[in-house]
Amino acid sequence: MANKERFRFTPGLILASLLIAGCSQLDVATLRGTGDMGIIIERAAGNALVVETTHHSILARVEGLGNLSHASAVFSRDERYAYVFGRDGGLSKVDILRGRLVKRVVQGGNSIGGAISQDGRLIAVSNYKPGGVKIFDAETLTMLADIPAVYGHDGERSKVVGLVDAPGQRFVFSLWDAGETWVVGMHDPQNPQIRKFRDIGKFPYDGLITPDGRYYIAGLFGEDGLALLDLWNLDAGVKRILGGYGRGEQALPVYKMPHLEGWAAAGDLLFVPAVGRHEVLVIEQKNWQEVGRIAVHGQPVFVMARPDSRQIWVNFAFPDNDTVQVIDVPTQRIVKTLKPGPAVLHMEFTPRGEQIWISVRDDDLIVVYDTETLRQVTTLPADKPSGIFFTSRAHEIGL
């Protein structure tokens, strides 16, 4: 025993141990993880509700985010911060754990969305006015690069649409007026490397990227078809797919542009909203050929796959926007038609897909459904809600 070293408890060590123990107990009682959290846009009021999905509760309301009539959001890779893109050109950084606005900058006159880089350090914002993309430091919201969407011989600037992040620290977007798709490498934020693909088709209105980050697809408003770019093989250029869909048929008035970022991938099949038609197109990804069409209630806006890809949920443009339909993927048949309420604007699945949250603007409600029983679970109050964004998006390419 005499040879064994004895541990001595000094007064300072005892005090530190007590403080650490006390802090641990406090942390367990007050801190939370971000994995079941998200935000809901209150579009008319310019607010964002911070919510958690486990107990269907509203944790905070963050005000002062500007014009959110077409707002979208992305999340930092640790899921703590939401970056909200407002229609008035506002870029807002929201701390969802503290429920407060960290910083807001007005970077343009008319903004339509944004993306976060692969490493989480850069925020890109796409603008209608002035047409182009601006890149910001995710920590400080300091602007690092300005990429004007200049085209033609007269230096005109195009509206930018379909901005997504891509592997290799890249952003990809399309130019509405120019009919172009640009791929921008951002390894050096001070020196963006831009590759331009011209003549992709008339009026690309939105874009999407496949979940593996390989293919970028731009929807075309000015003509039938889609424009496909293989990001693994840029030298192959843009390929036109589905060039004949709808040709020879009477086009319907388009009440709301479909959102391709809300497309659905289920196995080898893609489910895409048809512009101006009461149809969902089914595409086989192996050869990019149409293999089916599903007649639906109205003009689809969002066509979204449950995380396990067994179901496709579809909402619709006015005047059919009180309805949501559920498609069974194996049979490609509608298995349920739901009526959540007037003006269904957005849907979002919980991370594992057991529930779906639906915003019903004109009833000032969020309606939650069980995706197995297709029954309503609960509702939450919200002031003219639109976009619903959960933190699980932080780990998905293109969202």
Q: What is the pLDDT of residue 251?
A: 58
pLDDT tens across 317-338, in order?
A: 999 999 999 999 999 999 999 9
Tell me the average pLDDT across 43-72: 96
Q: What gap in Å lies between CA 316 and CA 124, rounded to an integer?
A: 29
Q: Report the predicted TM-score, pTM, of the whole model to 2 decimal places.
A: 0.90
Q: What gap in Å lies between CA 61 and CA 47, rounded to an integer?
A: 7
Q: What is the pLDDT of residue 194?
A: 98
Report how far apart, in Å, the C-alpha atoms of 296 and of each of 46, 323, 376 are.
33, 10, 22
For every residue of 222-287, which 3-state class applies, written as one string? CCCCEEEEECCCHHHCEEEECCCCCCCCCCCCCCCCCCHHHCEEECCEEEEECCCCCEEEEEECCC
Identify whether the C-beta of residue 93 lies closer than 8 Å to the C-beta of residue 62.
no
Tell me the average pLDDT across 284-295: 92
Q: What gap in Å lies between CA 47 and CA 318, rounded to an integer?
A: 24
Q: What is the pLDDT of residue 17?
A: 46
Instruction: Say whether pLDDT at 8 is over 60.
Output: no
Q: pLDDT-based confidence at 219, cuts 50/70/90?
A: confident
Identify whether the C-beta of residue 239 lies closer than 8 Å to the C-beta of residue 228.
yes
pLDDT tens across 163-203, in order?
A: 999 999 999 999 999 999 999 999 999 999 999 999 999 99
Query: What percentage of the chain carries pLDDT values higher than 70?
Result: 88
Give burial (CB, 10 Å; 0-12/13-18/19+) of 177. middle
Q: What is the pLDDT of residue 9?
A: 44
Q: What is the pLDDT of residue 204?
A: 93
Task: Domain 107-256: give its CATH superfamily.
Answer: YVTN repeat-like/Quinoprotein amine dehydrogenase (2.130.10.10)
Q: Where are the domains of the chain?
A: 107-256
Instruction: Say whether pLDDT at 13 is over 90.
Output: no
Tell me the average pLDDT across 53-62: 97
For the ranges 152-161, 183-192, 345-354, which has the lowest average pLDDT? 152-161
Q: What is the pLDDT of residue 4?
A: 42
